């Protein structure tokens, strides 16, 4: 059990990875504010616990985010670890996703995370201590077909988190982005976390149908164990200064390493041309 119990504030705790993160923090002896649109669903998913507080939160609503953080502080007195996990997946080729779908993807995954963090940071600054852990995705580092809107939202989170780290470090706040590979969560469940494209374009029709079938078949067979990832996050959180990133899963490591190698190859290939672009050459 934790020698110094902390207060964890976890978004998206009614389904997917958020459930396991809340459970892992509770199992380690921490206090947990587990949030979701329906607090009763959160309680049903995580399970009743004396150190658990379930709070209603729609991350796309800044007022709801502020109210949820206020409730957490009123109940437990502080917030030590903010875990941004709420998100969804608008799957589809870019042209087949409506403008409204792309905006909705950004509203939840990107702006929703910003809403909650904006509400929590004043608390962490007053304490002169705290952690902000944001679950992005391998898609936050590596793009791929049929994930353009999702990848855009996760890349945005990565850039924001990388910059935020330097902004809040003077206040004793550390940050970590978590890039999971494929984990056996509800992300690929239709109507729950996955939303299919609204637009029908003949040139994409066959590939869309085939890719949707492939995503459906993948659900329940992903290699990653979300309970193990949740436990790893609790371990990292309690082990000292956070790393800027945690690449989670063997598939995630392979994808990131491959991209880094490709980027290095591109730098090397055009090194002389790139270096010649200054006024001094």
Which domains are seen in the chain, by residue range?
A: 7-250 (3.40.50.720)
The size of the chain, in residues, is 281
Spatial CA neighbour of 79 closest among 23, 44, 114, 122: 122
At 92, is the secondary structure helix, strand, or coil?
strand
pTM, to two decimals: 0.92
Cα atoms in the 13 Å half-sphere on the side-chain side of 202: 0
- Our answer to whether residue 150 is catalytic in this structure is yes
Of the listed 150, 204, 270, 279, which one is catalytic? 150
pLDDT in tens, 96-145: 999 999 999 999 999 999 999 999 999 999 999 999 999 999 999 999 99
> How far apart are alpha carbons 6 and 63 in whole angstroms?
25
**218 phi/psi in degrees, rounded to 5:** -75, -30
Contact 52, 13 (CB under 8 A): no
From residue 194, alpha-carbon distances to 64, 162, 256 in Å are: 24, 27, 24
- State the burial class of residue 41 (Cβ atoms within 10 Å of its Cβ: 0-12, 13-18, 19+): middle
- State the burial class of residue 263 (Cβ atoms within 10 Å of its Cβ: 0-12, 13-18, 19+): exposed
* Res 187: pLDDT: 53
Contact 142, 90 (CB under 8 A): no
> How far apart are alpha carbons 177 and 248 in whole angstroms?
10
Strand partners, 34: 10, 54
* Res 55: pLDDT: 97
* Res 89: pLDDT: 87
* Res 172: pLDDT: 97
| Average confidence (pLDDT) over 4-15 | 93
Spatial CA neighbour of 252 closest among 182, 185, 186: 182
Going 136 to 138 to 139 to 143, the CA torsion angle's sign is: positive
């Amino acid at each position: 059990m934790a020698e110094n119990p902390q207060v964890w504030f976890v978004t998206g705790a009614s389904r997917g990875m958020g459930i396991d993160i809340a459970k892992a923090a509770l199992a380690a002896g921490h206090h947990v504010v587990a949030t979701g649109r329906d607090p009763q669903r959160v309680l049903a998913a995580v399970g009743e616990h004396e150190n658990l507080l379930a709070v209603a939160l729609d991350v796309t609503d800044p007022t709801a985010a502020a109210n949820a953080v206020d409730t957490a502080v009123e109940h437990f007195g502080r917030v030590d670890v903010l875990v941004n996990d709420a998100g969804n997946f608008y799957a589809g080729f870019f042209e087949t996703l409506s403008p409204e779908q792309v905006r909705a993807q950004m509203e939840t995954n990107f702006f929703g995370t910003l809403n909650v963090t904006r509400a929590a940071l004043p608390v962490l600054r007053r304490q002169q201590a705290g952690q902000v852990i944001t679950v992005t995705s391998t898609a936050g580092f590596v793009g791929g077909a049929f994930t353009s809107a999702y990848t855009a939202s996760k890349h945005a989170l990565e850039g924001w988190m990388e910059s935020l780290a330097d902004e809040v470090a003077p206040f004793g706040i550390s940050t970590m982005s978590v890039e999971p590979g494929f984990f056996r969560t509800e992300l690929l469940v239709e109507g729950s976390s996955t939303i299919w494209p609204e637009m029908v374009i003949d040139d994409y029709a066959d590939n869309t149908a085939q890719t949707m079938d492939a995503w459906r078949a993948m659900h329940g067979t992903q290699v990653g164990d979300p309970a193990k990832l949740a436990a790893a996050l609790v371990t990292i959180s309690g082990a000292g200064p956070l790393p800027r990133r945690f690449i989670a899963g063997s598939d995630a490591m392979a994808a990131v390493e491959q991209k880094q190698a490709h980027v290095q190859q591109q730098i090397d290939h055009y090194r002389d041309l790139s270096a010649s672009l200054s006024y001094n050459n």
